[in-house]
A = this chain, B = another copy of it.
Amino acid sequence: MSMASRTNSGTPASNDRLWDSVVGNDLSFRLARANALSLAGVHAALAEYDLRVRSYSVLAIAAEGSRPSQRELSEFLRLDPSQIVALVDDLESRGLVRREPDPQDRRANVLVATDGGRELFRAARAASRRAEQEFLAPLGALGAPLDAALRMLAGAPDAD
């Protein structure tokens, strides 16, 4: 049965009996494991640019000119406002983004990428996409339904 060829290169065959357990058949567990593997690939790709997944996300949104407030970033990325402060501090100290005062609300900052930030983002985005596509390659036609399912589970607005 499970002696067939595996997508799991390098792992001892003895683990098959662990996969055949409640945990191994748990969708939450597979989701967590897939996410860990995905993160590892993207993280390795971004390391070359001294970016982590979280700082890349902040830089990406700023680089696209969305002009988000830190509060909006906090909600969207599911990070505490205090974590956004640390992320923006780091990116700003590296000259990749700027805090600009929001003319409509002087309490709020609006995040803008510098030219250097946009340039770094473009390179990092290419590397990130290569890693993602390599990770998703074995999926084949399952890619589309996975995308639709994750869109729902992640709470994204309805697709057009």
Contact = CB atoms under 8 A, between A and B. Distances in A.
B27 A155 contact: no
Given A37-B153, A158-B5, A53 B32 contact: yes
B22 A28 contact: no
Contact of A18 (B2, B61, B149): B61
Number of copies: 2
B8 A155 contact: yes
The prevalent SS among residues of A at the interface is: helix
Interface residues of A, number: 71
B158 A30 contact: no
Contact of A75 (B15, B75, B128): B15
Interface of A: 1-8, 11-12, 14-19, 21-24, 26-39, 42, 53, 57, 60-61, 64, 66, 68, 72-73, 75-76, 78, 125, 128, 132, 135-136, 138-139, 142-143, 145-158, 160
